[in-house]
Structure 1
Amino acid sequence: MTETSIADAKTQLTRLIHQAERGEAVHITRRGKPVAVLLSEAEYARLRLSQGAMQPDFWDLITEMRADPAFEPVDWSKDEIDAWRDHRSVRDFEWPE
């Protein structure tokens, strides 16, 4: 395992990419704390596939939940839901009319 700072990664990117291509994960740090990992495309694809196989589709879960006889819809207002939202998001959002 290789660990390098962001500043060093900028100057050694080609070498780090070659290491990742050989299957070695490259951990990138900021002020000594891990912030990112550089992986080969093959390893990233393998992780994505294994993650997808483990996580059911969101809409399948919603459909299954709504089909449950014990399901009772909740009638929350737009204001109630908006109060729970993380407003730090940079994406603007408005409720449809």
Structure 2
Amino acid sequence: MENQYTISEAKNRLPAIVHSVEKGPSVKLTRRGRPVAVLLSIKEYEALRRERISFWDALAAFRKGNNISDLSDLEFDTLRDRSVGREVEAL
């Protein structure tokens, strides 16, 4: 569970809060009982800001890295269950 402080508490205890955030979970800052900001470590921040590759680029890299780029649709035909499903009696 993350710690939670009011803005006035955070103002008075900022050095200690920053020290705890460096070592542990993020801190939620509140104003009048409502969350308004989050204080987090630079490591967490950089992880959130990290450039992410698109799904298709990730898929292409996965297929290339696992040598499955040359699979055809025929190989997938046997994997799909083409049955119509079970019979259901309508009430």
TM-score normalized with structure 2 length: 0.54
Identity %: 43
Tell me the C-alpha RMSD between the 2 structures. Answer: 1.8
- Aligned runs of 1:37-76 on 2, under 5 Å? 37-49=38-50, 52-53=51-52
Q: For structure 2, which runs of at least 5 residues remain unmatched after alignment?
A: 55-91
What is aligned with 2:59? none
Equivalences, count: 54
* Change in CA separation of 1:48 and 1:11 when aligned onto 2, cut-off 3 Å: same
Matches of 2:52 and 2:42 in 1, distance apart? 18
Q: For structure 1, which runs of at least 5 residues remain unmatched after alignment?
A: 56-97
Q: Indicate if the aligned counterparts of 1:23 and 1:43 stay in contact, CA closer than 8 A.
A: no
Q: Deviations over 1:5-45 (max 9, x none)?
A: 00000000011101110131100000000000000011100
TM-score normalized with structure 1 length: 0.51
Letter in 1 for 2:52: A
Of structures 1 and 2, the larger Rg is shown by 2
Matches of 1:54 and 1:25 in 2, distance apart? 26
What is aligned with 1:4? 5
What is aligned with 1:29? 30
SS of residue paired to 1:29: strand
- Aligned runs of 1:79-90 on 2, under 5 Å? none
